[in-house]
Structure 1
Amino acid sequence: MVRQERAVRTREALIRSAAEVFHHEGFTAASLTLISSRAGVSNGALHFHFASKAVLADAVESAAAGVLQTITGPRGPRAPSTLQRLVDATHELARHLQQDVVLRAGFELSGEACRAARTDLRLRWHAWVTAMVDRAARHGELRENVAQEGVAAAVVAATVGFEVLGTRDEVWLSRRTVSQFWLLLLPTLASHSFLGCLEAEGSAPR
């Protein structure tokens, strides 16, 4: 049991170390020696858990997908509407991207042209946003003349853009930036009966 727990801790340390190195150096330039060194283990221990850098990157993406599932999955008090749930999730995504290097590296790996993403977080985020916009439309939360595809495209383009720009300047991932985006967008897409109840700054306490 002790050996198993140690193996789990080593694997988790390697995934986090890899996320840090992938984030700072990029996948191509990332060194397995640096990753193992930052994790405090030998190269042999790294290769015991991960056969290659590509396999390690897949593990980082998988761990990041778990974080994204926590953000988009059901949790805590339910938002009063689907649109508010979507607003809240964008704030949660931005906050986690600031604080969790594994999630940030997972998103960045999804955009690496030199490798095929096994778990494309940007595609998963797009699919979830699309599903939420569809649900909001079915619940009468959108204006009648609003194109659902356009709403989903705007939200995904903005949030993924914030993620990319936030690599250099975390102001793009701030609550203020995300709130300003929704202050501009919500009046153009939300039906009159729902607009007054929506909080662009998010309904969940920070």
Structure 2
Amino acid sequence: MVRQERAVRTRQALIRSAAEVFDRGGYAKAKLADISAGAGVSQGALHFHFDGKEAIAGAVESAALRTLTRAAHIAYRERAFTLQSLADMSHAFADLMHWDVVVRSGFRLNNDSARSGDRGMGQLWHGCITRLLDEAAAAQELNADVQLPRATCAIVGATAGIGLLVTGDKESPARVALTGFWQGVLGGLATPRVLARLRPEGTDAVVAKAIVVSGNAFQTSFTPGPLAGRV
């Protein structure tokens, strides 16, 4: 049992170190020696857990995707309106990418041209937006003239683009940019009845609760609301 726990901790340390190395210089320039050194283990220990750089990059992506998926489920569960859950998800993702190097690195690895793998995160996000907009239409949250394929493409492109600009610096403009985006877009999507109750800046309590799923996000860009921590 002790040996198994030690192996789990070593694997987690390697994933965290790899995320930091990938985040600093990208996939192509990353060296396994730097990853093992950052985790405080030998290169032999790294190769015990991972076959090579691509394998550990895939592990970083998988860890990031698990965190983002859990955050999305929380934002969806807490929704007042489906359109609000979509905005809240995007704000939670932006905060997670800002504060959690594993999430940020995993997202960028998935979009790194130096790798030949698929773009699974983008496909999943596209599918999520499609389902949410379909649900919003069924709930009569959308204006009758909204063209769902065009709206989906616009939201996917804008939110993914903003995500690529997120850095690990002290301040991040991502949530400000997302707020401006949703202020412009929601007016064209939502019926007047729904629009009056939407928060383009995100619902702080919901976003705070969603990002708690990450053990690496030690700070947030706002004061957590009363729901924070009750995951």
Query: Same fold by TM-score, threshold 0.5 exceeded?
Result: yes
Structure 2 CA distance for partners of 1:8 and 1:118, relative to 1, 3 Å: farther
Give 1:52 shift. 0.8
- Name the CA shift for 1:188/1:172 in 2 (closer, same or farther; >3 Å): same
How big is the shift at 1:178?
A: 1.5
Q: Is the Cα–Cα contact under 8 Å of residues 76 and 82 in structure 2 kept in the other structure?
A: no
Distance 1:39 1:119, change over 3 A: farther
Q: Which amino acid in structure 2 is aligned with residue 101 of structure 1?
A: V
Q: CA RMSD in A?
A: 1.8
- Asked if structure 2 preserves the Cα contact closer than 8 Å seen for 1:22 and 1:30, the reply is yes
Distance 1:34 1:167 in 2: 21
Residue 76 of structure 1, CA deviation: 8.7
Percent of residue pairs bearing the same amino acid type: 43
Q: How does 1:162-201 map to 2 (within 5 A)?
A: 162-167=162-167, 171-173=172-174, 175-201=175-201
- Whole-Å Cα distance in 2 between the matches of residues 12 and 168 of structure 1? 20
Equivalents in 1 of 2:150, 2:24: separation in Å? Answer: 33
Question: Which runs of structure 2 are paired with 1:95-110 in the superposition (5 Å)?
Answer: 95-110=95-110
Q: Unaligned 5+ residue runs, structure 1?
A: none
Q: Is the 8 A contact 1:107 1:122 kept in 2?
A: no
Which residue type is aligned with residue 30 of structure 2?
A
**CA apart distance, 1:177:** 2.0
Q: CA deviation at 1:82?
A: 0.3
Does 10-19 or 151-160 show the bigger shift? Answer: 151-160
What letter matches 1:53 in structure 2? K
Cα offset, 1:74, TM superposition:
3.8
Which one-letter code corresponds to 2:192 in the other structure? H
Q: Which residue of the partner structure matches residue 68 of structure 2?
A: 68
Aligned residues: 205
What residue ranges of structure 2 are gaps of 5+ in the alignment? 206-223, 225-231
Q: Give structure 1 regions of 4+ aligned residues with deviation exceeding 3 angstroms.
A: 74-77, 167-172
- CA, structure 1 residues 191+126, in 2 after alignment: closer, same or farther (shift >3 Å)? same
Taking the TM superposition and a 5 Å limit, the aligned residue runs for 1:110-125 are 110-117=110-117, 120-125=120-125
Report deviation, 1:150: 1.6
Q: State the TM-score, normalized to the length of structure 2.
A: 0.83
Q: Judge which range, 161-170 or 86-95, deviates more.
A: 161-170
Pairwise CA distance, 1:75: 5.9
Shift of 1:138: 1.3
Counterpart in 2 of 1:39? 39
TM-score by length of structure 1 reads 0.93
> In the aligned structure 2, how far is the partner of 1:71 from the partner of 1:48?
31
Q: Which amino acid aligns with 2:149?
A: E
Contact 2:75 2:85 in 1 (8 A): no
